Structure formats: structure tokens, C-alpha cells
């Protein structure tokens, strides 16, 4: 009896020690992630909370004092050259974590302003010459003392949060033409990893891993494989009926390089699925078909990976219209009824409001002013394709272009204003099938003539630049507004209407994700706006783009942190009220 009592006492002490250690170290655990929406002091997951709102309850900085923002400190990241920075940094226990070009990971102490550690996976530069779309990454995940990242060479890695030393690594991808660029998430103690590389015509999927060991727990394929073999999971039998020909020989696409959100109450993980590979449906599915689950949102149980519902936004994708743009979850009163909704502004130019309990389409409308590939959505949310939107050897000019009306830059949602904030682009691109296309594993296999890819150096479609040869447009395109370039729009999802819009000067709007706070401030591209009206309240010229801001509270003071400027000039900038540091010039070195 005494021995049993001793064992129980020892177990209680061990449990108490574990709790005390977690509290002391400020570890991110399941409880912290579920409650992240209430904790404004930290930014512990990509979208700040499971609903991916990019909304912070902090309000020390507000409309009355935001003009006093100044640089508190900055840190030169020494990000490798020839790489864009698209990652959103995380903040936990006074440490800022992030991902740079070529998957270089770092930790910086926000109090001392000194680097805590840096880890370089030494990705082969030669490998990336064949891979779309550059050596980018959108962020890391934190969980129980480890930092997790997906790498360009297909590995998933876990680092010790304190030291940056590798704890475990596992190969996720089946071959070298599937890469990992998505920000990882942790849901119900499972590390969720999405694949990238649809331009290589690979077969898309997302997977769950044990964060402690790296053991794969399940995998959900977004495209069916060879129907002569058993399907890996039952959803694929349904999907296969929407494909024709021998699509599996080229993969099919459907990679999951962004867009995840989780509802703990419903226990549903929502995932956005990418474009077809090759792009032209005639190449991958010659007799047509919707090609599930391309261009879709799927809701799965995180314990098993089994699908509960799906909603397809772009059936039979022909235009690189991914649905991997960041998802937002919100609870809204729509038509007098409180609904649990999912908000989405994918590449195709339509804003969707979906019941996230069952996938029911509630409403949809054009958030891009120029949309020529479809004339609208039917009562079920299916796009009504415009005559002539499908292309062949002869080019067709389509809006939005392949860069999309909204891409990887996350939109924020404020429960105070009830508005979603979309960083978008009015664009056009000419699409034409390559008549000499031949599938080659390991290379880009979009199957498109180079005529369709007018882009800027950072990958953004250039509005108005079209080839000199005569190009057709879909029926009704002549009545659409011209493609004007970048914009920032405040969108009311209750009415599916635009509240206000700011157009970029010169057609190009720099910037990454949007951030909105309880101080009624909207941050985008190192500019602060009144979240209700769009009035510009503060700005600073950082001489760069791809700014993804986060905010946190440390020692009673609110800070705004951004990774800005392209490498090799990339720098972490941290702003606070009455900050006095000068903005370092480009190319400056300590």
C-alpha cells in the first residue's frame, strides 16, 4: 500500500514538474494554441490564432498615437542572396523565430536584440534551378520546445527551440520535384505539412506527423492516383470519377502550399488545394471533368485525415487558380442568423463565404473588378464560365492572371469592424498551350507557352503587358474595367461588398500580409491605416517589399515587427511608440 502511495505521489510530482517547466520556459502547447486568440502578448502560429485572422487584441498603439511609431531596433538577417522573403515571424517568450531564403532559420532575443541561434540546412542551389517558384518559405511552427519547418529539398525538420540543434529530420516528399514551402501548423498535437510544386505536375497532398518523433501519422492525397490500384483513402474513389485520361502519369497537381485553419470546437482542419498540373486541363484530363480536389477547400478530421466536406471554387482549373490563399474563420450574423463561416479570397477573383460546419455555399461576389474568365457564381457557388475562357494553342487573355487577384499574402479579419482586408492585384495574362509539350519528371511541366507569363522580378503578374501577336478574350471582356495593378481592399463578408479600396501608385503595391489590431489600426507594407475608413495614419519607407507584420507585447510595451527588403539586404525591423533609431540604408552593414 505504501509503495502504491509513493508511486502516485511521484507521479503527481512529475506532472507538477512538467507543468512548472512548461510555464517557466513559456512553451507553446495545445492549450496555448487553442487560446492564442486571447493572448495578444505573443504570436505563436502563422495566422496568430487557429482562425488565421491576423488580428491582435493589443491596442496600446491606436489611431491617437500611431503617428509616434518609430524604429526601436533592427537586425540584419544576412539572408542568402537571390531569395524573396515571404515568411511571417513568430514570437514566443520574448524570442522572435523566422525563416529566411533557402530555409535558413533563426531565433533573435527581442530584449537583447541579439541572435540566439541560426541554422542553415545548406539546400543545394543547383536543385532549385528546376523548381517553381523560387527558394521561398512562409514560416515555421512552434510546439513543446521545438521549431519545425518544411524544406525545399522535401525534408521536415525539428530543431531544439533553445539551441537550434536538429532533433529529428524526415523526408516527406516522394521525389525531388515535390518541395515544401508552406508554413507548418500544429493541430491537436499533430504537425501538419503541405506539399508544393504543382508546376512540376506532381501529385499533391498534405500530411500529419508526430511532433516528438517525426513519424508520419496520415496523408491526404488531393488528386487520385492510378485507378487500377487501390486508392489510399476512400475520398479518392469519388474524386477519380471527375478525371479522364491517364492523369496519374503526370501527377495532376493539387499541392497544398498554404491555406490552413482549424476550428477546435468543430474539430475540423480546413485546407486549401492548389492548381492543376499541367495547367491546361486538356493535357491532364482530355475529356474534361471537374478534377477534384483541385481548386478546392477540404475539411478533414485532424486525428484521422478523413474528409468531412469539400467545396470546389474552380472546377477543372485551367488558369493556375489555386485555392491556397490564406483562409479566415469567423462567426457572423448573416441574414439574421448567426453562422460559423469560412472566408476566402482565392486567385480566381471571387470572395466566398462558406458555412464551415458543412461546406454550404452562403454567398460569393467578385472582389477583383476585372474578372473575365467567369461571369458570376450560380446559387451553389459554381462559377459560370465565360464563353472563350478555355484556351488552346492560340492564346487567350484572361483576368485575373496566373498571379491571381490575391496570392500568398494573408488577408486579415477584424471582429471589431467586421471587415476582411485583402492585399490584391488587378491583373491579366495570356494563356496558351505549348504545342510541343512533353512531360519530363523533375522539370517544370506547366505545359504552357511562355506567352502567358508576364511577371515582375518578384513573381507578380505585370498588369497590361501582353504579347504583340493578336490575342482573343472571353466573351464580355470588353465591358470589364482595365487591369490596374495592386490594391488594398476592405471587404464586408456579411454583404459580400467592398467597403473601401486603395489602389497602388504606379500599378504595383509592395507588401505581404495584412495585420489588424484592436487599436483599430490596419498595417500593410509598413503603412498604418484606420481600419474602419482606410485613412492613412503613418508610414515609413523601408526601401523594400514582401513585408509581413506581426505585433507583440513585451515588458508592457507593444511592438510591430516586420521582415522587409529582399536578400541580401533583408532586415528584421521592430517598431514601437517613440522609437528613435534611424532606418538603416540599403546595403548597410554593422
Task: Report how far apart, in Å, the C-alpha atoms of 496 and of each of 56, 414, 580 are.
Answer: 23, 15, 42
What is the Cα–Cα distance from 347 to 366, expressed in whole angstroms?
11
Core vs surface per residue 578-588: b (16+ CB within 10 A) or e: ebeeebbeeee
Sorted by sequence, the CB contacts under 8 Å of residue 534 that are 6+ apart come out as 488, 490, 500, 501, 502, 522
Residue with cell 503526370: 250
What secondary structure, in 3-state letters, does 411-437 show? CEEECCCCEEEEEEEECCEEECECCCC
What does 97-146 look like in DSSP terms, one character per residue? EEE-GGG-EEEEETTT--EEEEE-----HHHHTTSTT-S-----EEETTE
Residue with cell 521536415: 156
How far, rounded to the nearest angstrom, does the alpha carbon of residue 183 sit from its chain's CA centroid?
Answer: 7
What does 261-277 look like in DSSP terms, one character per residue? EEETTTTEEEEE---EE
The DSSP code for 504 is: P
C-beta of residue 183 within 8 angstroms of C-beta of residue 167: no
C-beta of residue 583 within 8 angstroms of C-beta of residue 540: yes
**Which of 41, 280, 290, 320 is the catalytic position?**
320
What is the Cα–Cα distance from 210 to 192, expressed in whole angstroms?
9
What is the Cα–Cα distance from 157 to 550, expressed in whole angstroms?
24
Active site residue 226: no
What secondary structure, in 3-state letters, does 280-305 show? CHHHHCCCCCCCCCCCEEEEECCCCC
| Residue 479: other Cβ atoms inside 10 A | 7
Sorted by sequence, the CB contacts under 8 Å of residue 229 that are 6+ apart come out as none
Strands (E), 127-284: 141-143, 146-150, 155-160, 166-171, 185-187, 190-194, 205-209, 216-221, 252-253, 260-263, 268-272, 276-277
C-beta of residue 218 within 8 angstroms of C-beta of residue 235: no
- Beta bridge partners, 328, equal 343
**Residues belonging to the active site:** 320
Amino acid at each position: 500500500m505504501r509503495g502504491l502511495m509513493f508511486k502516485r505521489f511521484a507521479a503527481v510530482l512529475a506532472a507538477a514538474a512538467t507543468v512548472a517547466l512548461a510555464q517557466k520556459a513559456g512553451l507553446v502547447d495545445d492549450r496555448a494554441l487553442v487560446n492564442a486568440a486571447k493572448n495578444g502578448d505573443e504570436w505563436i502560429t502563422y495566422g496568430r490564432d487557429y482562425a488565421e485572422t491576423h488580428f491582435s487584441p493589443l491596442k496600446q498603439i491606436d489611431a491617437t498615437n500611431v503617428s509616434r511609431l518609430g524604429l526601436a531596433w533592427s537586425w540584419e538577417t544576412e539572408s542568402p542572396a537571390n531569395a524573396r522573403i515571404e515568411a511571417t515571424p513568430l514570437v514566443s517568450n520574448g524570442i522572435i523565430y523566422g525563416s529566411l531564403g533557402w530555409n535558413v532559420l533563426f531565433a533573435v532575443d527581442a530584449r537583447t536584440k541579439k541572435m540566439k541561434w541560426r541554422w542553415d540546412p545548406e539546400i543545394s542551389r543547383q536543385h532549385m534551378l528546376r523548381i517553381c517558384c523560387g527558394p521561398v518559405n512562409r514560416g515555421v511552427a512552434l510546439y513543446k520546445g521545438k521549431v519545425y519547418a518544411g524544406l525545399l529539398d522535401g525534408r521536415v525538420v525539428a530543431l531544439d527551440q533553445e539551441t537550434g540543434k536538429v532533433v529529428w529530420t524526415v523526408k516527406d516528399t516522394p521525389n525531388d520535384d515535390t518541395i515544401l514551402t508552406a508554413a507548418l501548423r500544429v493541430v491537436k498535437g499533430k504537425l501538419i505539412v503541405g506539399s508544393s510544386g504543382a508546376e512540376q505536375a506532381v501529385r499533391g497532398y498534405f500530411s500529419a506527423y508526430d511532433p516528438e518523433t517525426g513519424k508520419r501519422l496520415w496523408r491526404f492525397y488531393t488528386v487520385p492516383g492510378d485507378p487500377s490500384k487501390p486508392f489510399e483513402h476512400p475520398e479518392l474513389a469519388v474524386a477519380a470519377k471527375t478525371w479522364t485520361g491517364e492523369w496519374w502519369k503526370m501527377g495532376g497537381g493539387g499541392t497544398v502550399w498554404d491555406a490552413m485553419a482549424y476550428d477546435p470546437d468543430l474539430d475540423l482542419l480546413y485546407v486549401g488545394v492548389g492548381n492543376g498540373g499541367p495547367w491546361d486541363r486538356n493535357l491532364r484530363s482530355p475529356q474534361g471533368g471537374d478534377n477534384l480536389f483541385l481548386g478546392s477547400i477540404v475539411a478533414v478530421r485532424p486525428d484521422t485525415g478523413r474528409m468531412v466536406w469539400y467545396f470546389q471554387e474552380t472546377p477543372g482549373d485551367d488558369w493556375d487558380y489555386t485555392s491556397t490563399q490564406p483562409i479566415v474563420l469567423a462567426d457572423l450574423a448573416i441574414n439574421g442568423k448567426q453562422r460559423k463561416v469560412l472566408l476566402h479570397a482565392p486567385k480566381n477573383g471571387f470572395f466566398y463565404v462558406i458555412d464551415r460546419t458543412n461546406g454550404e455555399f452562403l454567398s460569393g461576389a467578385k472582389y477583383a473588378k476585372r474578372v473575365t474568365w467567369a461571369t458570376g457564381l450560380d446559387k451553389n457557388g459554381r462559377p459560370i464560365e465565360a464563353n472563350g475562357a478555355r484556351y488552346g494553342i492560340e492564346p487567350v487573355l484572361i483576368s485575373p492572371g496566373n498571379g491571381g487577384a490575391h496570392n500568398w499574402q494573408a488577408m486579415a479579419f477584424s471582429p471589431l469592424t467586421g471587415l476582411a482586408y485583402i492585399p490584391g492585384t488587378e491583373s491579366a495574362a495570356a494563356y496558351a498551350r505549348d504545342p510541343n509539350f512533353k512531360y519530363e519528371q523533375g522539370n517544370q511541366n506547366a505545359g504552357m507557352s511562355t506567352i502567358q507569363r508576364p511577371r515582375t522580378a518578384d513573381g507578380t503578374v505585370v498588369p497590361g503587358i501582353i504579347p504583340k501577336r493578336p490575342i482573343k478574350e472571353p466573351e464580355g471582356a470588353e465591358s470589364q474595367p482595365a487591369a490596374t495593378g495592386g490594391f488594398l481592399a476592405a471587404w464586408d463578408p456579411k454583404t459580400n461588398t467592398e467597403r473601401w479600396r486603395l489602389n497602388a501608385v504606379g500599378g504595383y503595391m509592395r507588401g505581404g500580409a495584412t495585420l489588424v489590431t484592436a487599436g483599430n489600426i490596419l498595417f500593410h507594407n509598413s503603412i498604418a491605416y484606420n481600419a474602419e475608413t482606410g485613412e492613412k495614419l503613418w508610414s515609413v519607407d523601408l526601401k523594400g517589399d514582401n513585408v509581413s507584420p506581426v505585433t507583440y507585447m513585451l515588458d508592457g510595451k507593444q511592438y510591430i515587427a516586420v521582415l522587409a527588403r529582399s536578400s541580401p539586404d533583408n532586415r528584421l525591423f521592430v517598431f514601437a511608440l517613440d522609437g528613435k533609431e534611424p532606418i538603416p540604408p540599403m546595403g548597410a552593414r554593422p
